[in-house]
Amino acid sequence: MASPSNVDSVLTTLNNLESTEFSTEDDRVRVINAAEKLVSRLEKPFEPALKHVWYYVGLQTVSAGESRLLRHLSAMNILENRGPESYEMGGFARALGEGGADWIHYLFEVNAPGFHNFPAYCADIKYQNPLHQAKGNWQHLQGSDQGLFETFGTMKALNDYKHPWTNIFPVSELVKRTQPEHAILVDVGGGRGGDLEKVAQMFPDLPKGSLVLQDLPDVVKDLSLKPSIRAMPHDMFTSQPVKGATAYFLHTVLHDWPDDKASDILRNLHSAVERGRSSVLLYETVMTSTESELIKTASDLTMMCLLGAVERTEEMWKKVVEAAGFKIKKIWSNVGSMESVIELTLS
């Protein structure tokens, strides 16, 4: 058992930790994971129920009880108490003013209604497997044939807060081995170009148009992009027009689709990939069968409830890519990232 002196020493160490003190993002996330597991071990059985069912509900309090709500936010470490009736924003509260509020709106307007409706939807489909039904839970909730992305568009708010793929995969190797006549990177279904912008920032002297952004015409029109990025309207369910690029990149595209459709998307890249030089990079969640990670399991349940889809294990990914004539060369991962870079080459 810990003695009072040991407890004081542990508390001093914990209270002095700051996010800026860690040399790597991996170290910071490993400590957070360990701290969350520590809390779980120390909590008595009823305490998690208080936290998840009672404490968080208080966040929906209306402004009529402003001072009481501020006290509650302070107790949850969203605000910092600086004295009687005096509060200062914590890191999370500051993030809300810097674009984080968009993600909160998404959770309340999309995730929460979707999860609440899911039991009724399952009853209506007579508890069949909810994956890849012709009409999913979102359409059931809305009373419409429109899918989630048709209603809300791309999830830019979430993507802005994800771990950059450029911190996981050695992008410099792509740049080094690119021949002048070929594109360095083609971002298939790349939305408004956030992932290519990261590459352009890392390498400001890339040739004009050497990074290719592809998405549907309405998505890529009228974009203001760096000179090294050129926008190209393209439907991923048709043959890839850019041949021989060093890499083709798909960021959480395939997890929206069932296995056969995901393989079709990859198959449309097959004729463009140059054997021995080109690769396909999938930035996707890879579920594990051992140590579960909360952000991955939450994403998996969200995919099931909102899109009738699934986050895949490594074996599931192998099945999808091999059906399209590819093989997994390497999976690049980082402790701080929900997703990994799955590097593919031709079989």
Closest alpha carbon to 280 in 251, 303, 239, 310: 251
Burial of 205 (0-12, 13-18, 19+ CB in 10 A): exposed
| 138 token code pair | 């979102």
Can you count the helices (H) and strands (E) in the chain?
Answer: 16, 9
Alpha-carbon distances, residue 146 vs 99, 117, 122, 156, 321 (angstroms) = 27, 16, 19, 19, 29
Contacts of 44 (CB under 8 A, 6+ apart): none
Closest alpha carbon to 282 in 300, 309, 305, 257: 257
Cα–Cα dist 207/184, whole Å: 9
Helical packing angle, 314-323 and 259-270, nearest 10°: 50
Cα–Cα dist 268/254, whole Å: 13
Cα–Cα dist 143/135, whole Å: 10
3-state secondary structure of 284: strand
**255 tagged catalytic:** yes
Contacts of 340 (CB under 8 A, 6+ apart): 168, 283, 284, 285, 286, 331, 332, 333, 334
Contacts of 17 (CB under 8 A, 6+ apart): 31
Contacts of 233 (CB under 8 A, 6+ apart): 214, 215, 216, 217, 220, 221
Which residue of the set 140, 234, 251, 255 is catalytic?
255
Report, as residue numbers or ranges, the catalytic residues: 255
